[in-house]
Amino acid sequence: MKALVKSKPEKGIWMEEVPIPKVGPNDVLLKVKYSAVCGTDLHIYKWDEWAQQTIKTPVVIGHEYMGTVVEVGSEVDRVKIGERVTVEGHISCGFCRNCRRGRQHICDNTIGIGVHQDGGFAEYISVPAKNVLHIDKRIPDEIMAIMDPMGNATHTALSFPLLGEDVLITGIGGPIGAMATAICKFAGARNIIGTDLSKFRRDLARKMGATRVIDPTKESIREAMEKHDMVAGFDIGLECSGSPAAFNDMVNHMYNGGKISLLGLLPQNTQINWSKLIFKGLTLKGIYGREMYETWYHMEMMLTTGLDISPVITHRFSADDFQKAFNIMEEGNCGKVILNWE
C-alpha cells in the first residue's frame, strides 16, 4: 500500500510502498478514505525539537482520518466489515489509576497513533477495536476525518460553563481556535473575542462566528473590550496560540475568578506575572486530547443539532499531492487540509 512515511530524521515526508498492516485478534483494518493534516504532523515534517525528541523513524504518520472497516480480528464483536468509522487517536492502557477512574485521556501509558506507532496517512491502517467509533450517518465523511482535532477544540471550549460568558481566544484563527469559536457560540457565549497574527486566519475565525477578531499588533484587547461594553474582563480564556505574549495578554485581561483552558504548547521559558494569576483567583486547566469518550458524545450531539464547522476545511488534495498540502500548512494560510486516499 501507499503510505506517507517519516523515514529519515530530517525535514520532509516521503510517499512509500509499505506492507498492509496485519490485524491482531482485537484489532480492525480500515481502508482510509480521508485524512487531515494536523499541526503535530507539521512538527514531524519540519523535524523540530519536539519531533526529534518524540519520533522514532521510520513511522507512518497521521492521526486524523476516517474510512471503512475491511477486516476484523478474531476477538472483535462490536465492529463489522463495511462500517463507516473514525478512530480515537490515543490508545490507553485501561489499567492505570487514571484509566480506572475514567480519565483515559491522561493515561499513564498513552500510545499515540501516527506518533508512537504507524498512523493513518496510508491506504490502510490497523487499530484496536476499542478505539473505533461509529458516527451518526448525518455527519459527512470529511467532518468525520477532523473529529479528532474537533475533539481538542470541544475539550478546550467545554471545560468550563459558557452560557452568557465573555470569552477570549488567543490563536483564534488556527483550526482548533476556529472550531472552538463555533462551539462557544453554539454553547451560548455572549462575546467571543480573539487575537491572531494571520489575516487569513482572522477571516476564518469571523466565518466561524467570532464577535470580534483583532490583530494584536494593531489593536489592543482593551480597545476591543470597550467596543463591546466589557469593563471588567473575560470570564473564560481559551489559549490556543502557544505564544507567551498572547498568554500574558490573556492573564492581564481576565476577570477575577476567570478560568483558562491551556491548549497551546507554551515554551519552557514562558514567564507570567504569577501575582496576577493568584490575586485574581484564576483557574488554569491543561488540555490534552479528548476526554474519552464524553467529548466524542458532545461532538456528535452538537454536529447533529446544528453546529457547522465545515468552513474550517479550506484545502483538499489527493494523497499523491501531499507535498502541496504540507507546503500550505507551512505557510499557515489555511484551516484544515484534507487528503483524499481514494
**Which tens digit of pLDDT belongs to each residue from 140-182?**
999 999 999 999 999 999 999 999 999 999 999 999 999 999 9
Q: Are both 53 and 164 inside the same structural domain?
A: no
Residues near 66 by beta carbon (within 8 Å), at least 6 away in sequence: 32, 33, 34, 84, 85, 86, 87, 135, 141, 144, 145, 147
Q: Are both 173 and 125 inside the same structural domain?
A: no
Residue 42 labeled ligand binder: no
Q: Are both 127 and 164 inside the same structural domain?
A: no
Residue 334 labeled ligand binder: no
Q: Are both 157 and 141 inside the same structural domain?
A: no
With 90 as the cut, is the pLDDT of residue 265 above it?
no
* Mean pLDDT computed over 171-200: 96
pLDDT of residue 151: 97
The end-to-end CA distance of the chain, in Å, is 12
What's the domain count of the chain? 2
Q: Are both 211 and 275 inside the same structural domain?
A: yes
Residue 292 is assigned to a structural domain of this protein: no
Residue 38 labeled ligand binder: yes
Question: Dihedral of the CA atoms 266, 271, 275, 276 (nearest 10)?
Answer: -50
Q: Are both 220 and 267 inside the same structural domain?
A: yes
Q: Are both 34 and 129 inside the same structural domain?
A: yes
Residue 240 labeled ligand binder: no
Residue 99 labeled ligand binder: yes
* Mean pLDDT computed over 257-283: 93
With 90 as the cut, is the pLDDT of residue 197 above it?
yes
pLDDT of residue 50: 85
The CATH number of the domain where 128 resides is what?
3.90.180.10
40 belongs to the catalytic site: yes
Q: Are both 174 and 272 inside the same structural domain?
A: yes
**Structural domain for 246, as ranges:** 153-286
**CA 46 to centroid of chain Cα atoms:** 19
**Rounded to an integer, what distance in angstroms lies between the CA atom of residue 314 and that of residue 134?**
25
90 belongs to the catalytic site: no
Q: Are both 130 and 222 inside the same structural domain?
A: no
Beta bridge partners of 125: 30
The CATH number of the domain where 175 resides is what?
3.40.50.720
**CA 17 to centroid of chain Cα atoms:** 28
pLDDT of residue 274: 92
**Rounded to an integer, what distance in angstroms lies between the CA atom of residue 91 and that of residue 109?**
8
